[in-house]
Structure 1
């Protein structure tokens, strides 16, 4: 476990639940601790129960635990920057959008619904004491090949999930990012209208 954990709770303009305020995206994962299977299952179950238009549930997940061939193959699809830190995560989860039904009918809301499922995953993982970092930096075509996906499925993001590690194991530049203050645009700047 990390010996250099700093306070990462968001300074919110109004109170929010702790699983949201305390959620952040670390790159330092404990490379020795095996992921807690019950906690991982709970995060996946939370994703399963995400809202979805017409209850179509246009999402799929591929889970690869550290040390497996699939985990290594997923790491190979990541951009080099993510390959520096992501392999230490207890598991890599590929979030996949089902963009068309089996009969070819387009599912226009697939990306939106997948996002809700991943948000549920992230919040539940945080509540369970796991850390999550989502990545867009990967080769989607290579990932589709690794997973043997039909054309109607699109890998959207790779989620590193596991137990928080010590930032001191990261390269110096990443240590600085790991310890940098959390910043967000203000709520007022985010709202286009609020009447």
Structure 2
């Protein structure tokens, strides 16, 4: 598979570990199954994310069997399903609202840890908001005390040419706005 030269797309303004630039969200998934230990290590990394009062509000409902993946496909919107159906694993990210106001923030941190460990394991991840939360709640029997955040496709990267043409154009690392547009010192500034 032809490797993408990250430096053509991403450059850090300050010194950071390369893993932050190397991680991106491809859409071209291989159907190759993931060995259980390799997959579980990404959730092990998520387990060690920091959380307010150590409440660890995140939960992951995973789909690794053909039957479970089919169930996930049923609530993923068509625009995402067309490229993610080959992924050998999915995780629905939810958080326990009863743990307090930081539950979503802490759960996002766990997803970040998961995505970086996946990259270290030679896997790709792509988080999706394009799915029907009400259908996911019903099909997966998720109690109301849990917020539903995202579906993550997990697997090995495949050739971009295997994607539909419209997705091939987008199959590259995205850039980021300059740091100066993200940080405001002292007060909010437009």
Separation in structure 1 between the aligned mates of residue 77 and residue 68 of structure 2, nearest angstrom: 17
**Structure 1 portions without partners, runs of 5+:** 102-106
Aligned to 1:160: 153
Deviation of the 1:44 alpha carbon: 0.2
TM-score, normalization: structure 1? 0.90
Deviation of the 1:182 alpha carbon: 2.6
Report 1:98-177 matches (<5 A): 98-100=96-98, 107-177=100-170
Separation in structure 2 between the aligned mates of residue 60 and residue 132 of structure 1, nearest angstrom: 17
Separation in structure 2 between the aligned mates of residue 186 and residue 36 of structure 1, nearest angstrom: 38
**Structure 2 portions without partners, runs of 5+:** none
Aligned to 1:45: 44
Q: Is the 8 A contact 1:8 1:24 kept in 2?
A: no
Q: Is the 8 A contact 1:135 1:157 kept in 2?
A: yes
TM-score, normalization: structure 2? 0.92
Q: Is the 8 A contact 1:64 1:70 kept in 2?
A: yes
Deviation of the 1:27 alpha carbon: 0.2
Aligned to 1:25: 25
Separation in structure 2 between the aligned mates of residue 190 and residue 135 of structure 1, nearest angstrom: 23
Question: C-alpha deviations, 1:14-39, integer Å up to 9, x for none?
Answer: 222122110000000112x1113222
Separation in structure 2 between the aligned mates of residue 91 and residue 35 of structure 1, nearest angstrom: 8
